[in-house]
Every structure is written in structure tokens, then in C-alpha cells.
């Protein structure tokens, strides 16, 4: 999986793809106001104090107690800054104050280091296992807020430039990094498959496309092979912020219960396996069998046992059969 830049796709890999924001709703004024509220040092200290206090005081924090946490003697000055944070970042209740979801996100971003440590947190290339395609060495590295995993021999790219907060790398020692990277990638894929944007949590649409292209997979001028492109992939697009991502067909099917059950019967536990060890992820033999309605046949073969899936244009499973 990889993150691309606005308005284009910098690179595309096989497990996932170019992800990045495109033009979304114009909310510049709202964002300027929101970030302006928390840019003040005292106000940020209030948010941080509420975060710390919530560990010991799950209920609302009283005004005097909160002012003590922040360390401001002037009650009027403190009250002014606190009121500026209500109701967007701080909720006011009868017995005190607490963080709103937006307030928790601000502190969560600070803890993750996504705005402060991205340029300083780095992981030198490490061996993370064997390539599912060629058996060669897979190498992972983390730098400038991006995670990359690729094969040194066949150049298979598992993820290229996929965004990951510095805390993912900083809170694990080297031996635990492969598992941490894999779980982060799984979580990102699952978030999109459940219909949520990993950036803004807006609604995500999933559609079948030609590999590395944003045009619809159903075309009338695909060349000698007929009306359909041989190599298909799935595109995720956020309706709110314009985020886009591409992935192989297996990316959209990895969390399907029928797929997980089939793999479990073959001795493969999806939740306990590193993503790059999913050789079956790349082995879905998918082709469009009908244009109206759109139907795709995807065949997963594991040691001679086959799972045949019938998918619609959004890659939802409409039928399945074991062969």
C-alpha cells in the first residue's frame, strides 16, 4: 500500500496503492479557525491537562482542578482560554470539563508524533521475511512518516510510501517491527473495506478498475483481448476528502468471512499471518464475466482446493462455491 500525492499517482504496487488526498470540499476558513484555537500554548496545555487528568479522573474535571493542572494563577485569563475551546474541543458539563472527540484527536496526533517527529523518526532497512512471489528477501524501512516494504530480488512492492505515524516505529523494538508494520497495514486495509476513510473517516466507495488506472474497468476499446482489461484492481475513493487508494482484488476480499473460513480450512490463520506472507493475496484469478449487471469471477486456489467467488462491480461477494 502506498500514499500518493494530490492530483496524481506517484507509484502503484500490488498489495495496495497510491493513497493520498485529492480535491475535497473547500473548508479553508473553518480549518484556519479550528487550528487557530489550539495554536495558543495555554489552550494546548488545557487540552493536554484534560488528557492527563482523564487517566485518573474518568469523569469531568472541575474548573479549579483543571486550572491547577495547567498551572495558571489568573482565573480570568484561564477562563477566557478555556471558553475559547468550548464546545469544539472541550465539552462543558454540570460537574466540570472533558475532551470532545476533536480534542482527543488533537492530543492523539501530538502523541503519535505525526506533526512533530515524522522527519526525525527513521528505521534502517530490516529483513522482514520471505517474498511470497519469488522467495527472495523482503526489506522494510520507515522514514519521513512513510513505511516501505519491497522485495530486493523481484522488486515486488508490498507497500510504497504508505503513511504511518512515527509512534508505530518509535514504540517497537526492531524485532517487533515486522509484526507492527503488518498490523498497521491490515488495519488500514480493513478500515477502507469497512467503508471508512483512513484520513478523515468519511464514507469510502469501492469500485473495480483497471490496474494502475482510475478509469472504469468496463471499456469498449481495451485492445485485442476484447472489451475487458485482463489485469483488474480495486479503487477506494473517499466522498468527503478525496482520498484515493488502489489495491489488488485480493485486498478487497482479505477480510471476507467466506475467504477467511476457506483459508482457515487450509491451515491459514489470517489474523496471525504477516501481510507479505499472504501469497494467496496476489493469486486471485479475477476476470469480468458480465457487463450488465457487472459480475466478476475471482478464483482463489490453495494447494488444489479452490474458492470461486462471484463479485459485483464494487467487489461485494454475491455468490461463492468451493471446488
Query: Between residues 7 and 62, which one has the greater pLDDT?
Result: 62
Q: Nine-digit cell at 311? A: 463479485
Query: Between residues 95 and 231, which one has the greater pLDDT?
Result: 95
Name the percent of the chain lying above pLDDT 90: 17
C-beta pairs of 303-306 under 8 Å, 24+ apart in sequence: 303/266, 305/262, 305/265, 305/266
Rg (CA), the chain: 23
Q: CA distances (Å), 65 to each of 35, 51, 68, 125, in order?
A: 26, 13, 5, 47
User: CB atoms < 10 A from the CB of 71, how many?
Assistant: 10
**Residues with Cβ within 8 Å of residue 58, at least 6 apart in sequence:** none
Give the pLDDT confidence score for residue 226 in this predicted structure: 38
Give the pLDDT confidence score for residue 119 in this predicted structure: 60
Q: Nine-digit cell at 96? A: 466540570
- Closest CA relative to residue 89, chosen from 76, 78, 108, 102: 102
Distance between CA 175 and CA 180 in Å, rounded?
Answer: 10
Q: Is residue 174's pLDDT more than 90?
A: no
Distance between CA 162 and CA 275 in Å, rounded?
Answer: 14
CATH number of 40-112: 1.10.10.10
Pairing of strands 18-19, 2-3: parallel
Averaging pLDDT over each range in 14-18, 89-93, 221-225, which range is the top one?
Answer: 89-93
Q: Which residues pair with 162 in a beta bridge?
A: 147
Q: Nine-digit cell at 114? A: 505525526
Distance between CA 165 and CA 65 in Å, rounded?
Answer: 32
Averaging pLDDT over each range in 131-145, 224-238, 273-287, which range is the top one?
Answer: 131-145
Name the percent of the chain lying above pLDDT 70: 80
- Arithmetic mean of pLDDT, 51-69: 82
Give the pLDDT confidence score for residue 216 in this predicted structure: 47
- Closest CA relative to residue 86, chosen from 74, 72, 103: 103
- Closest CA relative to residue 249, chosen from 174, 168, 323, 193: 193
Give the pLDDT confidence score for residue 258 in this predicted structure: 93
The domain locations on the chain are: 40-112
User: CB atoms < 10 A from the CB of 181, how many?
Assistant: 29
Query: What pLDDT band is residue 261 in, cutting at 50, 70 and 90?
Result: very high
- pLDDT tens profile 114-134: 556 556 677 888 898 888 778
Query: DSSP letters along 148-216, please?
Result: EEEETTT--EEEEEEE--HHHHHTS-GGGHHHHHHHHHHHHHHHHHTTB-TTT--BEEEEEEETT--SB
Query: What pLDDT band is residue 8 in, cutting at 50, 70 and 90?
Result: very low
Of the candidate ranges 160-174, 218-232, 247-261, 273-287, the one whose mean pLDDT is the lowest: 218-232
Q: What's the mean per-residue pLDDT of the chain?
A: 78
Distance between CA 19 and CA 186 in Å, rounded?
Answer: 15
Could you tell me the sign of the dihedral formed by the alpha carbons of 117, 123, 129, 132, in that order?
positive
Amino acid at each position: 500500500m502506498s500514499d500518493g500525492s494530490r492530483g496524481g499517482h506517484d507509484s502503484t504496487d500490488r498489495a495496495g496503492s497510491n493513497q493520498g488526498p485529492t480535491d475535497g470540499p473547500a473548508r479553508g476558513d473553518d480549518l484556519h479557525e479550528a487550528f487557530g484555537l489550539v495554536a495558543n500554548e495555554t489552550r494546548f496545555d488545557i487540552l493536554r491537562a484534560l488528557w492527563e487528568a482523564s487517566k485518573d479522573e474518568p469523569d469531568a474535571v472541575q474548573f479549579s482542578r483543571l486550572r491547577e493542572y495547567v498551572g495558571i494563577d489568573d482565573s480570568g485569563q484561564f477562563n477566557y482560554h478555556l471558553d475559547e475551546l468550548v464546545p469544539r474541543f472541550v465539552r462543558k458539563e454540570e460537574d466540570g470539563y472533558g475532551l470532545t472527540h476533536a480534542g482527543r484527536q488533537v492530543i492523539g496526533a501530538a502523541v503519535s508524533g505525526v506533526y512533530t517527529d515524522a522527519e526525525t523518526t527513521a528505521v534502517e532497512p530490516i529483513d522482514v521475511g520471505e517474498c511470497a512471489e519469488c522467495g527472495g528477501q523482503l526489506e522494510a524501512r520507515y522514514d519521513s512518516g512513510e513505511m516501505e516494504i519491497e522485495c530486493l530480488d523481484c522488486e515486488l512492492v508490498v507497500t510504497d510510501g504508505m503513511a504511518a505515524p512515527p509512534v508505530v516505529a518509535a514504540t517497537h523494538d526492531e524485532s517487533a517491527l515486522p509484526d507492527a508494520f503488518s498490523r498497521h497495514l491490515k488495519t488500514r486495509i480493513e478500515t477502507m473495506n469497512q467503508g471508512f476513510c483512513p484520513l478523515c473517516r468519511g464514507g469510502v466507495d469501492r469500485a473495480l478498475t483497471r490496474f494502475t488506472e482510475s478509469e472504469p474497468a468496463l471499456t469498449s476499446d481495451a485492445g485485442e483481448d476484447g472489451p475487458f482489461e485482463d489485469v483488474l484492481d480495486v479503487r477506494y475513493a473517499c466522498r468527503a476528502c478525496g482520498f484515493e487508494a488502489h489495491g489488488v482484488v485480493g485486498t478487497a476480499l482479505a477480510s471476507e468471512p467466506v475467504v477467511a473460513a476457506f483459508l482457515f480450512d487450509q491451515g491459514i490463520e489470517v489474523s496471525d499471518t504477516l501481510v507479505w506472507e499472504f501469497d494467496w493475496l496476489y493469486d486471485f484469478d479475477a476476470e469480468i464475466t458480465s457487463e450488465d449487471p457487472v459480475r466478476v469471477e475471482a478464483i482463489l486456489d490453495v494447494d488444489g482446493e479452490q474458492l470461486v467467488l462471484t463479485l459485483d462491480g464494487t467487489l461485494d461477494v454475491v455468490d461463492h462455491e468451493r471446488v
